[in-house]
């Protein structure tokens, strides 16, 4: 159905073999020569874009988790709120926040190009712009999410947002359990870029991750005492340096990792963790 796909914006701009790089350079140099803008102005614009990072989104989410009024405002009028917070939205598409709940999990894509809330989160990750992600996440979102380590129960509605027009979407992930005592800054550290796109949930808090095995979880029999494994996550040494690929907390949110380490059994006295 792509027979009408004749518009000229550069889908393949970050592929140096596409020919867009020399084209971009030629046009830029011409415009500078003609005095339309200066090279310094371009540099300042690039610096401004580079100063935007997913940490902006993480802070918004952490504040929404701790401040119900802020959250209500964020859900109702994200663009207005962000403008007040000093984000430059004047020449940008508008922003909307979609909330993950017990029954709905949101994930964001732009199938037509690579629309992304750049005015808040900065540049999108490379995979977000790839045809593989853009075409597959609408067709088989659960399979794609599983590849990100996110497996959702069948009764959770997966809601894909295709940013086809003038809105850009940011996902408000669910607040992980066991984070009741954490302050905003610590909470923000749990909100990854992928959580803001919806390909992953927010990370579990660090103490829960560390407690995972300490509280009585052990890999299946015959594994826990194998020599040469990390005492915490039972991974084998990886790579040339023989370093352990530790379980940097992702073990809670990566069912794939659990499979890799074999079935887990729960020993007595650990029920409170779950």
What positions carry a catalytic annotation? 110, 113-115
Binding-residue pattern over the window 125 to 164 for other proteins, x denoting contact by CB under 8 A: -------------xxxxxx----------xxxxxxxxxxx
* Spatial contact of 163 and 169, defined as CB atoms under 8 Å apart: yes
For the bound state, the minimum distance from the C-beta of residue 164 to other proteins, rounded and expressed in Å, comes to 5
Distances in Å between the alpha carbon of 89 and those of 20, 41, 55, 117, 118? 27, 19, 18, 10, 10
Determine which residue in the list 41, 72, 165, 214 makes contact with other proteins, applying CB under 8 A.
165
Binding-residue total with other proteins (CB under 8 A): 31
For the bound state, the minimum distance from the C-beta of residue 128 to other proteins, rounded and expressed in Å, comes to 16
**Which residue, 170 or 190, is less far from other proteins as judged by CB?**
170
Residue 106, classified by CB atoms within 10 Å of its CB into exposed (0-12), middle (13-18) or buried (19+), is: buried
- In which element (H, E) is residue 169 found? strand 167-172
The token duo for 274 is 């779950």
Determine which residue in the list 112, 123, 257, 273 makes contact with other proteins, applying CB under 8 A.
112
The token duo for 16 is 């140096």
Based on the shown chain and the rule CB under 8 A, indicate whether residue 167 belongs to the binding site for other proteins. yes
CA atoms within 13 A on the CB side of 269: 5
Q: Which residues sit at the interface with other proteins, rule CB under 8 A?
A: 1-7, 94, 96, 111-112, 138-143, 154-167
């Amino acid at each position: 159905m792509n027979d009408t796909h004749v518009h000229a914006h550069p889908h393949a701009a970050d592929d140096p073999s596409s020919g867009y790089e020399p084209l971009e350079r030629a046009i830029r140099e011409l415009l500078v020569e003609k005095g339309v803008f200066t090279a310094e102005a371009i540099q300042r614009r690039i610096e401004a874009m580079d100063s935007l990072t997913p940490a902006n989104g993480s802070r918004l989410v952490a504040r929404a988790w701790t401040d119900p009024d802020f959250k209500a405002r964020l859900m109702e009028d994200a663009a207005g709120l962000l403008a007040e917070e000093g984000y430059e939205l004047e020449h940008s598409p508008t922003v909307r926040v979609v909330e993950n709940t017990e029954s709905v999990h949101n994930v964001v894509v732009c199938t037509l190009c690579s629309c992304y809330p750049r005015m808040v989160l900065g540049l999108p990750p490379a995979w977000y712009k790839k045809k593989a992600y853009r075409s597959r996440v609408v067709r088989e979102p659960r399979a794609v999410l599983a590849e990100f380590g996110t497996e959702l129960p069948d009764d959770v509605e997966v809601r894909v947002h295709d940013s086809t027009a003038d809105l850009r979407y940011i996902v408000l992930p669910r607040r992980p359990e066991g984070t009741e005592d954490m302050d905003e800054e610590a909470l923000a550290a749990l909100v990854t870029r992928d959580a803001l796109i919806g390909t992953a949930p927010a990370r579990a808090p660090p103490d829960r991750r560390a407690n995972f095995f300490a509280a009585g979880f052990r890999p299946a029999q015959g594994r826990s005492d194998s020599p040469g494994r990390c005492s915490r996550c039972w991974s084998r040494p990886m790579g040339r340096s023989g370093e352990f690929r530790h379980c940097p907390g992702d073990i809670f949110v990566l069912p794939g990792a659990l499979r890799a380490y074999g079935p887990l059994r729960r020993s007595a006295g650990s029920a409170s963790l779950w």
